[in-house]
Amino acid sequence: MAQFDWQPVWLTLQLAGTTTLLLLLVGTPFAWWLARTRSFWKQPVGAVVALPLVLPPTVLGFYLLLLLGPKGVVGEMTQALGLGLLPFTFWGLVVASVLYSMPFVVQPLQNAFEALGDRPIEVAATLRASPLDRFFTVAVPLARPGFLTATVLGFAHTVGEFGVVLMIGGNIPGETKVLSVAIYDYVESLEYDQAHILAAGMVGFSFLVLLTLHFTNRRLEVRQ
């Protein structure tokens, strides 16, 4: 037990951090659109975003392996752009995680934006705030609990990701061997001691994350 391998832990934190950041950047305008639009496409697009909630991760992993592979549409594109192939790379996992954790970021944001209603935005408009100004100085601060929930859930869900990573990761130490895969590996090779350290750590981490989320959300609600 002298030299326990912490690399999967750092790698997982990096993956979850990168994914959450990207998801907030992409998910915020997306959620805003979903919350405000009256377009016919609102429901179909919302359903597509929610797909990872119900699909087994293996479905997503399988199609990503085909799509990102050398014979897949996306794979041909990344190769043409000189990026090489995404499966078995850290950035391949980022792409997969962004898709996989999308509903956990977009839905809380959408709910928060919808809960604002039209009024604060309209009031800001009468005070001659530009649309961008309205969004950043009115909508975003008011939707703070939504942002907190989205960040925490997006991060935690990526940490807990397993099936997709197993399908397209290739178990490369320091590149795609994340926590959940490392635990699986230890269990498979009957090294239960190491498995326990990581697995118990995950249980503790997840509990703390959810507990913090509940407390912070309550504090924010009380303040508002």
In order, the DSSP letters of 117-130 are -SHHHHHHHHTT--
C-alpha to C-alpha distance for 65 and 70, rounded to whole angstroms: 9
CA dihedral 213, 215, 221, 224 (to 10 degrees): -100
Phi-psi label, residue 172: left if phi above 0, alpha if psi -120 to 50, beta otherwise: beta
Tell the smallest beta-carbon distance from residue 88 to other proteins (Å): 5
Q: How far is the CB of 114 from other proteins (least distance, A)?
A: 28
Q: Which CB atom, from 171 or from 216, has the smaller least distance to other proteins?
A: 171
| # residues near other proteins by CB under 8 A | 21
Q: What residues numbered 180-199 form the site for other proteins, per CB under 8 A?
A: 184-185, 187-190
Cα separation, 85 vs 205, whole angstroms: 33
Q: Of the listed pieces 23-31, 38-46, 60-68, 134-142, which binds other proteins according to CB under 8 A?
A: 60-68
- And the tokens for 154? 């997006």
Does residue 166 belong to the site contacting other proteins (CB under 8 A)?
yes
89-108 positions binding other proteins, by CB under 8 A? none
Q: Which of 51, 74, 85, 125 binds other proteins (CB under 8 A)?
A: 85
Single-letter amino acid, residue 1: M
Where does this chain bind other proteins (CB under 8 A)?
Answer: 65-66, 68-71, 85, 87-88, 166-168, 170-172, 184-185, 187-190
